[in-house]
Every structure is written in structure tokens, then in C-alpha cells.
Structure 1
Amino acid sequence: MALDHATLEAAARWYVDLRCDDANQATRDAHRHWLEGAPAHRQAWERLIQLQERFERVGPGVARPTFSSARLKRREVLKVLSLLLAAGGTGTLAWRTTSLPSLVADQRTATGESRSLRLDDGSQVKLNTATALNIHYSPSLRELHLLSGEILVQTARDAQARPFVVHTREGSIRALGTRFIVRSDNDQTQVCVLEHAVEVRTATQTPPVRVEAGQQLLFSQTQAGSLQPASPNADAWTLGMLVVNNWRLDTLIVELQRYRPGHLGCHPQVAGLPISGAFHLDNIDAILENLSSTLPVRIRQFSRYWVRVEPA
């Protein structure tokens, strides 16, 4: 049975209403009455539940969207859920192309956007491009769930002496009175400590690894790599800059892709060209033009959202 948009949106609305803090028995009874009103209602609801079950299999920290402020972002949540539900019977297409938990996160930035937050305890968080973050403070713990992207955290002293922990798919980082960067992508998390230290524990509960100021660590769900010296310019993005020293060109292009919508590629023949410099991240197209004037490359633009660096 084909499901119309109104039915899909109604299912999304019920989903949000039932997960709000003020959901009561009357709301649940009304939802049950709606389900029984038409076969299409139940089919739409089952499709939504299939999507939710798919998200719950991803892992702790990213499984369930957080709706603690659902009333404040109801329109956004409904739009996202309706779009995902309309993707198909099981939502497979939507699952491959977007992440519902990220789209309905407490805080998120678009591609090329950054934002600064001040948390309830005075801690400060800077979100880099395409970042999604959930925030949960309880009487015993201060928690951030980084669903995707990159953040810089500067913790504040807490009057209740609650631990400060950042979770990703791959594990958790416990702050030890510190300033640090966490980046999560490609099934790996990288933590770079700028001040003091953190303790890193992978998702498989291996013994924690202490990372001191001036060090960085890359880890997956099952293992932590070796401690490495931190990049001296790891936090340059907080100033809108990218500073590179003798990078491969394809590595630079992959990094620039994070800040530009669409596809940005690099031809294998020029992938290994070395490059150093400081680049302003607010104009990626200008960076690409500069590459063509300093390296033996040309910028081939198939469309506004499909660009490749090729041999000149």
C-alpha cells in the first residue's frame, strides 16, 4: 500500500509526541486510537519503528535520537522524519545517505559552519563543520555524545565534582581538567589534548589510555593506536584556518571536502604532490583556484557540486 505524505507526517508527529517529556496516558490513548483508524496508519507506524530499530543497532551513544527539547525543534524533527519515512518501505536508502540521530541532535552545524556553545556548568564547546552533538547533564555525570564531526572542549570546574565524558561510536574520553579536541569519522575517533590530560577507553572496555597535553591518539571500537605528538595547528580550525605542512595533495582535498558541499575529488596522477600553507576555510573555491596557480593542476568543475583536481 502506497503511503501518502500526510499519513507519514502524522506518524512522525506521533513519534515525537510520545517521546516528549510531557507525554501522558491521554497521549498514548489518542495514539492507539489513531493506529486503529486505518490500515495505512499502522503501516506508516511500522515503517517508522523499523527505522528506529535500524538506528538502535548502530551502537551506544548514537542509537536513539534525543528529544529533550522536542517542543523547541518540532518542525525540524517532523520534516526529517517525514523525509526518511518517505524514502521507502524499510528506509534503506535514507539510512545510506543520512543519519537521523545526527539530523535531530541537540546541536549540529552544517557543512562549512562552526559554532561556539557555553554549557550549564561553564564549560565551552566549539563545533566544527558538519558536526552533530547531544548533551546530557545529570546529577552524577556531564556527558557529550559526539555523533559525527569535530569539537573542541574546554571544561570548567564543576561545583558537584561530576566527571566530564565525551562519547563517540568508538569509545569514551574522560576529561581530567582539560582542553582537548575530539574528531569522529570513518569508524575512528581521534583525540588531541591541548592542556592537561584525558583518559580514553574504547567501546570494548579495554584498559584506559592516558593522553597528556601535546599528544594525540587514534582509536577504534576494539583498539587504541599508539600515542603520537599532537599537530601544533590542530586547533587552527577554531580560527577558521587550515594549516598544513608537507601534506599530500589528495590528503588536503579530503580535508577540504569536509567544508564544501558536494563532491570534491583528486586525480591519482596528482594525488602525491606535496603542499604546505595556511588556508582560510571560509572560501574553499578560492583555495582551489590558488592550487591551480601554484601546482601543475587544473580545477575541473562538472557542476557546482562536483569538482575534481586534475593534471594541468
Structure 2
Amino acid sequence: MAMDHATLEAAARWYVDLRCDDVDEATRQAHRRWLDSAPGHRQAWDRLTLLQESFGRVGPGLARPMLSNARAKRREFLKVLSLLLAAGGTGTLAWRTTALPTLLADQRTATAERLSLRLDDGSQLLLNTCTSVNIRYTPRLREVQLLSGEILIETAHDALARPFVVHTQEGSIRALGTRFIVLREADHSQVCVLEHAVQVRTAALGPAVQVEAGHRLMFRQDQVGSVLPAPAQADAWTRGMLVVNDWYLADLISELQRYRPGYLGCDPAVAGLRISGSFHLSNIDTILANLSSTLPVRIWQLSRYWTRVEPA
């Protein structure tokens, strides 16, 4: 059943208001009266409840302590309203195969954007390009949920001695007083430890695997790879750089695609060429132009949003 925009807007506002830290009983009673005042109100609220159950916590995360701030409340309201409008009357099933859950992310970055955050306990969280996360601190646990993309975390000492855990669809990473990178790709996650160590446990709840500084580990929901040496300068992206050593050209192009809107592809005929070097991620077009002067390739560009590396 279709619902009018005003009803969905009201449901979104109530949702955000009720998640403020300073919500009082008068607000809760007013919400109950709103629910009972029209059948459409209850239907809109039920839709939001279903969406919350489908995608987990629909909440402000890092912004929670700030929701008395008008700008923070407006930002959360717009996210929830966008979700309700996008869901339409089709329910939640079709959403499971789309990227729409990122609309609910507490924090997210666009293509070629990075975002640095200082969390409540003093820990540092850096989001790479096209990344979305949820953040949840409770009296017992500090949690970050990586929905997509790549993050670097530097944990701080916590006065409450709460564990710091990063969750992905494939499993969880528990920090052991450390600095580390977590990357989520199509069918796996990867952790790269820069300082100290982490413990990795898959979603299937197999035995925990400890990864020490200078090493990385790829894992799926029910499978853990081998612990391997971490690549040199794995955190170069935090400085706007990409450092590669004897990479296939196809892998380089795939990595650059993350930082450039539109299509960026590589012809199979040149995919196996090898390349090493340091590249500034601020200008992908310059990197591509330099490729054509160092490798037997040419850059075929139909528009600023469609580029392919071809044999020269």
C-alpha cells in the first residue's frame, strides 16, 4: 500500500526524536498518540520497524551524543526518510541485494574522499574512499561495523577496559591494543596489522586466529586464509598515495577504479603487464597518462566517466 510523503516524513522524525539521549516520557506518549491517530501512521511505523530488523541497527551511532544538535538530527532524519522512500511498497526483501543499507551508515565517504574521525574514547578512525561504517559504543563494548570499503583504526586506552571489535559480513576482528586496516571486498574481508596484534574470528565462529604486526589475513564467512607478510606501505592511502611493487596492470587499474567515478577498465591483452611505483591518488588521469609513457598501452577515453587501458 502506497503511503503519502507526509506520513513517512513524520515516521522518520519520530524515529530520530526517540533515539535522542534526552528523550522524555512526554515525547514517548506523544509518539503513542500519533501512532493511534490514523491507520497510516501505524503502517509507516511498521515499515520502519521491518527495515530496522532487516538491516540491523538503524541509529545515529557516533552522532548519538549530538542528537540534541539540530544539524545532527536533520542529518539522521534525512537518512531515515530516504530509506523509507526508497523502500516504497515492495517491503525489504529486494533491498538485501542492493547497496541501499549504506544510506543508514553512521559515517560514509564518496569516491575519492577520505574522512578522519576521533571516537568517544579517543580512538582514531580513518575512512578511505567509498566506505561506510556504523559505530556503537556501550558500557561493555566498543564496536565498528564496516559495511563497505576500507578503514584504518588506531585504538586508544579505554578507561572502562572495553574490547574494541570491528565487524564485517565475514567475521570480526578484536584489537589487542593496536593500529590496523580492514578492507571489505565482494566476497571477503582482509585485515592488515600495522602495530601490535588482532584476533580474527569468522562469522561461522571458528577458532580465533591471531595476526601480529607486519602481517595480513584474508577471511570469508567460513574460511580463513594463510597469515602473510603485509605489503610495504599498506597505509599509504592515508597519505593520498598508492605504492605498488611488481603488480599486474589489471590489479593496478582495479585499485585505481576505487578512486575514480565511472568506468575504468583494462584490456585482457595488457592485463598481465607488471608495474611498480608510487602514485598520487589525487589525480587518476595523470597516473593513466604516465602509464602510456612507460608501458606499451594507450588510454582510450570516451568521456570523463568511461576510460579503458588498451594495447598501444
Is TM-score (shorter-chain normalized) higher than 0.5?
A: yes
Residue of structure 2 in register with 1:225 after alignment:
225
Question: Which residue number in structure 1 is paired with residue 85 of structure 2?
Answer: 86
Q: Which residue pairs with 2:152 in the alignment?
A: 152
> Is the CA contact 2:54–2:92 (under 8 Å) kept in the aligned structure 1?
no
Which residue of structure 1 lines up, in the alignment, with residue 3 of structure 2? 3
Q: Is the 8 A contact 1:201 1:207 kept in 2?
A: yes
Q: Tell me whether 24-33 or 11-20 shows the greater mean CA deviation.
A: 24-33
Q: Which residue pairs with 1:99 in the alignment?
A: 100
- Which contiguous aligned blocks of 4+ residues in structure 1 show a shift greater than 6 angstroms? none
**Structure 1 residues 1-312: aligned runs within 5 Å:** 1-55=1-55, 63-68=56-61, 69-70=63-64, 71=67, 72=69, 73-87=72-86, 88-89=88-89, 90=91, 96-100=97-101, 102-312=102-312
Does the Cα contact within 8 Å between 1:155 and 1:177 map onto a contact in 2? yes
One-letter identity of the residue aligned with 2:177: G
More displaced stretch, 107-116 vs 29-38? 29-38
Alpha-carbon offset, residue 36 of structure 1: 4.1
Secondary structure, aligned partner of 1:268: coil
- Checking the alignment, whether the CA contact within 8 Å between 1:84 and 1:91 is kept in structure 2 is no
Q: Which runs of 5+ in 2 are unaligned?
A: none
State the distance in 2 between where 1:311 and 1:156 align.
49
Q: Tell me if structure 2 keeps the 8 A contact 1:85–1:91.
A: no
Q: Are residues 2 and 301 of structure 1, via their aligned partners in 2, closer, same or farther at CA, if it must alter by over 3 Å? A: farther
Q: Structure 1 residues 290 and 64, CA, compared in 2 at 3 Å: closer, same or farther?
A: same
Q: 1:109 and 1:270 mapped to 2: Cα distance?
A: 32
Provide, for residues 51-86 of structure 1, a one-character-per-residue CA deviation record: whole Å limited to 9, x for no partner: 32321xxxxxxx213325352422222223333322
- DSSP-derived class of the 2:224 partner: coil
Change (3 A) 1:290 1:37: farther
Structure 1, 9-18 or 67-76: larger mean CA deviation? 67-76
Cα separation, 2, equivalents of 1:54 and 1:158:
32
8 Å CA contact retained: 1:51, 1:91: yes
The secondary structure found in structure 2 opposite 1:238 is helix
SS of aligned partner of 1:200: strand
| Residues 188-233 of structure 1 deviation map (CA, whole Å, 9 limit, x = unaligned) | 2211112222111112221111111221101112121111111012
Cα distance in 1 between the residues matched to 2:166 and 2:109: 18
Q: What CA deviation, in whole Å up to 9, does each residue of 1:170-195 have, x standing for no partner?
A: 22222222222111222322111122
Distance 1:25 1:303, change over 3 A: farther
**Paired residues of 1:236 and 1:243 also in contact (CA < 8 A):** yes
**One-letter amino acid of the structure 1 residue matched with residue 80 of structure 2:** L
Whether contact under 8 Å (2:192, 2:215) holds in the other structure is yes
In structure 1, distance between residues paired with 2:37 and 2:83: 23
Which amino acid is the alignment partner of residue 182 of structure 1? V
Alpha-carbon distance in 1 for matches of 2:240, 2:109: 14
**Distance change in 2, residues 1:23/1:121 (3 Å):** closer
Residue type of the partner of 1:64?
A: R
**Alpha-carbon spacing, 1:262–1:49, altered in 2? closer, same or farther (3 Å):** farther
Change (3 A) 1:275 1:158: same
Counterpart of 1:210, as a letter, is: Q
The percent of aligned pairs where both chains have the same amino acid is: 66
Of 44-53 and 255-264, more deviation after overlay is shown by: 44-53
Query: Does the CA-based 8 Å contact 2:12-2:77 persist in structure 1?
Result: yes
* Superposed CA offset, 1:288-307 (max 9, x none): 22223333333333443333
TM-score (norm 2): 0.85
The one-letter code sitting in structure 2 at the alignment partner of 1:167 is H
- SS of the counterpart of 1:177? strand
Q: How many residues align?
A: 304
Question: What SS class does the counterpart of residue 271 from structure 1 fall into?
Answer: coil
| Structure 1 pair 240–208 and aligned structure 2 pair: CA distance change class (3 A) | same
Question: C-alpha distance in 2, partners of 1:224/1:64?
Answer: 27
Q: 1:179 to 1:25 in 2, by over 3 A?
A: same
Q: Letter of the aligned partner of 1:74 in structure 2? A: K
One-letter amino acid matched to 1:85: L
User: CA separation in 2, counterparts of 1:226 and 1:95?
Assistant: 30
Q: Which runs of 5+ in 1 are unaligned?
A: 56-62
